[in-house]
């Protein structure tokens, strides 16, 4: 079907702007909009025409009788004063407070509270304890230009280190990216494992993070001919380096 024929395009643009174009026809026309400036322009023209109609419409408040009819349907017709007991008068007073508009406002408030509790509980001081970050060691490594490149994290008592590359790492051909732990006392770097050039990976640790990283202040990456075993040392300068911190 040729959607760009003038009469057909004008009709589809009008229905799309009005919101009456639905289902598969709407999805097909949206694909046309992505590739056709003429179709997009036709929709914009119709939206401008409809916006003028919106401006000419004067808002009107419903008559008070409409609210009274809604209240009668919700609460019934009030009893004559002489036939009312004390409890009945109290109930009628509560009904007067709970008018249709009051109920609508209360429901809106309850809905807003529900959304806040579900989406942003921290704003109300209700952040679930289960969602708190577990005690962990976290490292952020930067390249020579100071750009964040690698994130490493491991739970305090865990035996796995998760690494994620924030940008691809240019590992020379025939070499590997070796991750090192640098002790805060200036001692010899400790080989941790090999990290990928991109994406993420998990490195199995020989002991818990608490024992391995307790005295470590920085993590670093160097390029080596092969994975370095315990007792080895870097063969050159570090391509990445960053702080290792405790999160608890």
Q: CA–CA separation, 129 vs 149, rounded Å?
A: 31
Residue 105 is predicted with a pLDDT of: 56
- 191: β partners: 180
Residue 90 is predicted with a pLDDT of: 60
SS3 120: coil
E-state strands within the chain: 136-142, 148-155, 160-165, 176-183, 190-195, 200-204, 216-224, 240-247
Which helix H or strand E contains 213, and what residues bound it? helix 209-213
DSSP class of 56: T
CATH class of residue range 136-247: mainly beta
Tokens at 20, concatenated: 């009456």
Tokens at 16, concatenated: 């799309």
What are the residue ranges spanned by the domains of the chain? 6-55, 64-124, 136-247
SS3 182: strand
Tens-digit pLDDT string for the chain (248 aa): 676 777 888 888 888 888 888 888 888 888 888 888 888 888 887 777 666 555 445 556 667 777 777 777 776 666 555 555 565 666 566 555 555 555 555 555 555 455 444 544 544 444 444 444 578 899 999 999 989 999 999 999 999 999 999 999 999 999 999 999 999 988 899 999 999 999 999 999 999 999 999 999 999 999 999 999 989 999 999 999 999 988 87
Residue 130 is predicted with a pLDDT of: 44
SS3 162: strand
């Amino acid at each position: 079907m040729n959607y760009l024929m003038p009469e057909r395009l004008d009709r589809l643009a009008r229905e799309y702007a009005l919101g009456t174009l639905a289902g598969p026809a709407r999805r097909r026309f949206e694909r046309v909009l992505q590739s056709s400036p003429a179709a997009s322009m036709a929709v914009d023209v119709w939206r401008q025409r409809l916006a003028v109609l919106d401006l000419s419409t004067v808002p009107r408040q419903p008559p008070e009788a409409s609210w009274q009819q809604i209240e009668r349907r919700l609460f019934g017709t009030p009893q004559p004063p002489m036939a009312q007991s004390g409890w009945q008068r109290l109930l009628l007073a509560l009904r007067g407070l709970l008018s249709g508009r009051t109920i609508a406002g209360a429901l809106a408030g309850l809905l807003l509270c529900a959304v806040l509790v579900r989406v942003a509980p921290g704003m109300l001081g209700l952040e679930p304890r289960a969602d708190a970050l577990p005690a962990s060691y976290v490292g952020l490594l930067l390249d020579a230009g100071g750009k964040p490149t690698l994130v490493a994290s491991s739970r305090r008592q865990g035996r796995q280190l998760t690494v994620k590359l924030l940008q691809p790492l240019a590992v020379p051909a025939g070499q590997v990216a070796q991750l090192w732990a640098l002790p805060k006392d200036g001692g010899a770097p400790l080989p941790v494992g090999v990290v990928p050039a991109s994406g993420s990976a998990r490195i199995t640790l020989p002991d818990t993070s608490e024992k391995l990283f307790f005295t470590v202040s920085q993590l670093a990456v160097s390029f080596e001919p092969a994975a370095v075993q315990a007792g080895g040392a870097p063969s050159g300068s570090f391509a990445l380096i960053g702080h290792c911190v405790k999160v608890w």
